[in-house]
Amino acid sequence: MRCPFGLFFDSAKHLASNRLRGEKKYPVLLTLEPLGSPVARAGKPAGVSVADRPMLTVPECLAAIGECRTPLVSVSGAEPLGYPEIAALTRAILEHGQHLFLSTDGSCIRRHLHMIPPTTNFFWNVRLDGTEAAHDARAQKTGLFAEAIDGIKAAKNAGFLVLANSTIHPDTDVGDLAELYERLHAMHLDGYLLLPHYPTERLCREGSASFREKMQRRFREASERLSDYNLLTSPIYLEYLRGEREFGCSVWGSPVYGPHGWTRPCGFLKAGYSKSYKALLETTVWENYGRGLDPQCENCQCHGGYETAALLGLNAKAGDFWKMLAWQFGGNLGEKRAGKRNA
């Protein structure tokens, strides 16, 4: 199995039940940002403490889960291990029955291992964009890679499931990423996620075409060099990232909830917030967003909009169901993998 059976079963049941009810728009993954997004936090004056920043309460987070009713929850945004109630929030989400991905830069994992016992419903999701020099340069923080590796080792030794997520940029050295994955594989990492970079700068038509061509080339390289690892990025979404098929944006299936409310339509566009998930669905003109519809969407390939579309079976092709099934049962999670990868 590529992921724990419980996660696979609960996700499949969620998708099937919504389809049987005839639902057109429903959430697949809820992202909670208790401290807000890094973008929203940019420009905050130095010296402002966490306590002085707007943040969600644990009951507000649980209320958002109640609105969405999705089995998958990600706690992300500005470093969530800096959230004062992260232990209480983690325990509450797991007690609520959700599968939780806690996204972190890895620097504080060791200090938080005590907050819950290891469980197949919980993943440490650590951001790593390459080996030490590449990762620290991308993060603009010397020593972050070493701290993350130390946190991963501690988490694995304690029995936790650990993932690495890597953002692919147009200039990403896929060979360097393969070197990183070989090292992580030796540490018995449980899975790997590949995510596309979103360019915040405006690109002209030629620049946009060049950006997409470079991104598709990087993902073709990544698919070729990293496919032996337990990639948790779905094969159909990877086809889209490689430029082999098209999807419309379905970011409504991956809503984000933070201190200001439900982000509409997504965090990249800064188009405001809704007070409820229902209001987000009903008051957002979704037809205005996506490639060819909004200039800010032109170079977006982000998983919130497009992997969601792949998982929902939108613009499906014959054989997609069996491809996804073979992908799920052909993976090897953690110590259950068939054997050490041959370089």
Average pLDDT of the segment spanning 315-338: 79
CB atoms within 10 A of CB 157: 11
Tokens of 46: 């130095």
Measured over the CA atoms of residue 314, residue 64, residue 89 and residue 166, the dihedral's sign is positive
Q: Is the pLDDT of residue 115 over 90?
A: yes
β-partners of residue 153 are none
Tokens of 232: 């948790």
Instruction: Domain ranges for the chain, please list them.
Output: 5-336
- In CATH, the architecture of 5-336 is Alpha-Beta Horseshoe (3.80)
pLDDT digits (tens, 9 = 90+) for 284-322: 999 999 888 888 899 999 999 999 999 888 888 888 889
* Banded model confidence at residue 205, pLDDT cuts 50, 70, 90: confident
Tokens of 207: 């620049």
pLDDT digits (tens, 9 = 90+) for 9-50: 999 999 999 999 999 999 999 999 999 987 543 334 434 455
Measured over the CA atoms of residue 244, residue 245, residue 249 and residue 252, the dihedral's sign is negative
